[in-house]
């Protein structure tokens, strides 16, 4: 998607408390046509008027178009609003009309001088169409009147309008929007509207039947598209972008469901957040939905029926990420002239050295494979949104390739699916040339990758301060991806400060190799937190494991022959029982400073291996066998009560997309 320069200006919606109604033509501020001739907009229009595009207009206060009159704004007109908060706005009353005649090459621009959120009110239009609130209703802002029984009411036309800096605060509960449509009828035409940097909603519909096409809504701090009171129109082609903290939602719907339609909605967030929120019994029919970067896709805030929300022909599913390809490309709208958030797609192969940019937003849409001889560098603070594509989405580093993840405690690297649900995507796999008991040039159980050699000091790069969420996609009945899979990774590879959260399989698994790890946090991985096999002989210092969900497997699982990996400072805490340490075949480990809490089984020697293979606190495991038929379950008599690791300073594990 091409980048555009952010030069657009904007518009909001305001009304003054002294205005008694939207059809009140007895406003105390006189309209002075002479002021308009001099480029000043303030007061109530006394006759229909056409602005002059060669004049830059100053909006100095409330400007009202009353019943029976019209304001026409030709292409290229610029209106600069005073930074006057709620005292500066444009209002079109019931029976009045506004005709904004911008073009693709010459849009109409309305903005405060700096375009900062809340500088001024915005544009409010009141019509005579139906609203579930009744007729001749007083608006929540400005005391305007709206609502009737003429669903084909015509309040004029808007084409190619750019608005910036709206949303002035009226009260603690009320703000103006970029454009507010109060009972606006279907005879009104609205096409090609951009609302940028609003302190409240981009556009809001209070009942009515008006439809809108080609909406660009960027960094509006409440909802991008909001409706209530039974609005029944259609939005066709809307692009929403969120790149600031603390915005609200893409869509907020409230009250009765008149089943409005949205055709082609693409929304991109670099800050997480909620996409679609429905209050009371509201709903909509949405087709062509594409969401990227939202932690919550569907929020039925008041437990309304999901059946009221139909997305691409099916009932809305809050577990879906809706990571479909974009259906709206605003780079094809030159009239917007705004800088777009640059979302860069990652897939395919890395054949030469590649360095990502932490100021960009990345979307992992498929396999991203670092080839032999190439290096992938990921700087501190980089965030990679992994599509919910199951086994088709993963990052892999092949033998001879390298990865350099340069996170810091203050700015970790985050790689996660938008919702972070187990099994959403694959994970990170690294293949090296160190030894494995499986041999050399072995085919991995996932991806068909090759691994294994004779270079125990092999270097596959470095990882520092990495948070991974939502991994473990199912390959077949026997195989799944792990959060981090290390195949024959060598001792010159450095790995520290890694969190793997909400994985459907293991948190981290070692297939042979000699690599060591420091400071690892493993939360609610549904198979094993730490798994190893094929005579991994490395070590981990500071392992913290948390189990708070049902049906996980174990904290540790060791398999096959024992190469005696070493663990220093292990804390594993379960609130749901389960097994702590499981050793298959003749596997084992040396563990010092072990703290176990909440597990039903401390030690499972699954294939009746020798307890001497498991060294805890410097001795053979001191354990008593539990009386469970056909099981080799043990309770540790000692060695499991070390002081738990203090992770209160590990704030980096809380990092999100």
Give the mean pLDDT of the chain. Answer: 93
> 379-649 has which fold?
Pectate Lyase C-like (2.160.20)
Q: 545 is written with which tokens?
A: 């494991």
H or E element in which residue 34 lies: helix 33-37
Residue-wise DSSP of 264-318: EEEEEESS--EEEEE-TT--EEEEEEEEES-SEEEEETT---GGGEEETTEE--T
Mean pLDDT calculated for residue range 510-515: 98
Mean pLDDT calculated for residue range 448-461: 97
| Interatomic CA distance for residues 139 and 130, integer angstroms | 14
pLDDT exceeds 80 at position 9: no
Q: Where are the beta strands (DSSP E) in 392-453?
A: 394-397, 402-406, 413-417, 428-431, 442-443, 450-451
Q: 42 is written with which tokens?
A: 């303030």
Mean pLDDT calculated for residue range 564-588: 97
pLDDT of residue 33: 87
pLDDT of residue 7: 28
Confidence of residue 10 (pLDDT cuts 50, 70, 90): very low
pLDDT of residue 527: 95
| Interatomic CA distance for residues 77 and 324, integer angstroms | 38
pLDDT of residue 175: 86
Non-local (6+) Cβ contacts of 279 within 8 A are: 252, 253, 254, 255, 301, 302, 304
pLDDT tens string 333-358: 999 988 888 789 999 999 999 999 99
pLDDT exceeds 50 at position 371: yes
Non-local (6+) Cβ contacts of 358 within 8 A are: 379, 380, 381, 382, 383, 411
* Polymer length of the chain: 657
pLDDT tens string 20-38: 344 444 444 445 688 999 9
pLDDT tens string 577-633: 999 999 999 999 999 999 999 999 999 999 999 999 999 999 999 999 999 999 999
pLDDT tens string 220-270: 999 999 999 999 999 999 999 999 988 989 999 999 999 999 999 999 998
pLDDT of residue 340: 84
11, 201, 204, 285, 310 from 263: Cα distances, Å: 24, 20, 17, 8, 12
Percentage of the residues of the chain whose pLDDT score is greater than 70: 95
């Amino acid at each position: 998607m091409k980048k555009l320069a952010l030069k657009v200006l904007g518009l909001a919606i305001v009304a003054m408390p002294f205005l008694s109604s939207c059809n009140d033509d007895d406003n105390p501020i006189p309209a002075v046509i002479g002021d308009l001739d001099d480029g000043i907009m303030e007061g109530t229009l006394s006759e229909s008027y056409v602005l002059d595009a060669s004049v830059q207009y100053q909006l100095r206060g409330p400007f009202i178009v009353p019943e029976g009159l019209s304001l026409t704004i030709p292409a290229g007109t610029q209106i600069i609003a005073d930074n006057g908060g709620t005292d500066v706005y444009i209002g079109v009353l019931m029976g009045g009309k506004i005709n904004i005649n911008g073009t693709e090459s010459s849009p109409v621009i309305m903005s405060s001088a700096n375009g900062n959120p809340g500088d001024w009110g915005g544009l409010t239009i009141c019509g005579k169409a139906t609203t579930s609130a009744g007729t001749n209703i007083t608006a929540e802002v400005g005391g305007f009147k709206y609502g009737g029984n003429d669903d084909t009411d015509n309040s004029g036309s808007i084409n190619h309008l750019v608005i910036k800096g709206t949303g002035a605060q009226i009260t603690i509960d009320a703000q103006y929007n970029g454009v507010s449509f109060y009972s606006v009828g279907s005879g009104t035409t609205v096409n090609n509207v951009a609302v940028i940097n609003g302190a409240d909603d981009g556009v809001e519909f209070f009942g009515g039947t008006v439809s809108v096409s080609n909406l660009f809504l960027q960094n509006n701090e409440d909802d991008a598209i909001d409706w209530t009171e039974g609005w029944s129109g259609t939005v066709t082609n809307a692009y929403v972008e969120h790149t600031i903290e603390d915005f609200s939602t893409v869509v907020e719907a409230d009250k009765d469901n008149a089943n409005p339609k949205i055709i082609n909605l693409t929304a991109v967030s670099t800050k997480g957040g909620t996409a679609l929120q429905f209050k009371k019994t509201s709903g909509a029919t949405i087709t062509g939905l594409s969401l990227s970067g939202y932690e919550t896709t569907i929020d039925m805030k008041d437990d309304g029926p999901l059946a009221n929300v139909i997305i691409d022909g099916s009932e809305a599913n809050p577990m879906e990420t809706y990571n479909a390809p974009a259906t709206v490309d605003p780079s094809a709208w030159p009239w917007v002239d705004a800088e777009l958030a640059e979302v860069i797609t990652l897939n395919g192969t890395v054949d030469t050295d590649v360095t990502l940019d932490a100021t960009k937003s990345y979307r992992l849409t498929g396999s991203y494979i670092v080839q032999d001889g190439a290096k992938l560098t990921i700087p501190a603070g980089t965030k990679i949104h992994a599509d919910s594509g199951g086994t088709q989405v993963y990052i892999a580093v092949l033998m001879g390739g390298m990865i350099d993840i340069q996170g810091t405690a203050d700015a970790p690297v985050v790689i996660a699916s938008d919702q972070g649900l187990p099994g959403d995507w694959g994970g990170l796999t690294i293949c090296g040339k160190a030894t494995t008991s499986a041999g050399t040039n072995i085919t991995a159980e996932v991806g068909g990758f090759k691994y294994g050699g004779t270079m125990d000091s092999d270097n596959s790069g470095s990882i520092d301060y990495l948070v991974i969420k939502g991994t473990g996609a199912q390959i077949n009945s026997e195989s799944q991806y792990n959060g981090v899979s290390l195949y024959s990774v060598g001792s010159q590879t450095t790995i520290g400060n890694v969190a793997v959260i909400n994985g459907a399989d293991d948190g981290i698994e070692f297939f042979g190799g000699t690599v060591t790890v420091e400071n690892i946090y493993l939360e609610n991985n549904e198979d094993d937190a730490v798994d190893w096999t094929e005579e991994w002989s490395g070590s981990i210092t500071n392992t913290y494991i948390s189990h708070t969900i049902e049906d996980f497997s174990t904290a540790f699982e060791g398999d096959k022959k024992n190469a005696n990996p070493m663990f220093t400072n292990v804390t594993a805490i379960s609130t749901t029982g389960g097994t702590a340490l499981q050793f298959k075949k003749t596997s084992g480990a040396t563990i010092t400073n072990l703290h176990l809490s909440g597990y039903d089984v401390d030690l499972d020697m699954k294939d009746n291996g020798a307890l001497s293979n498991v060294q805890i606190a410097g001795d053979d495991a001191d354990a008593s066998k539990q009386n469970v038929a056909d099981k080799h379950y043990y309770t540790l008599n000692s060695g499991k009560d070390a002081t738990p690791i203090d992770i209160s300073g590990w704030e980096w594990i809380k990092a999100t997309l």
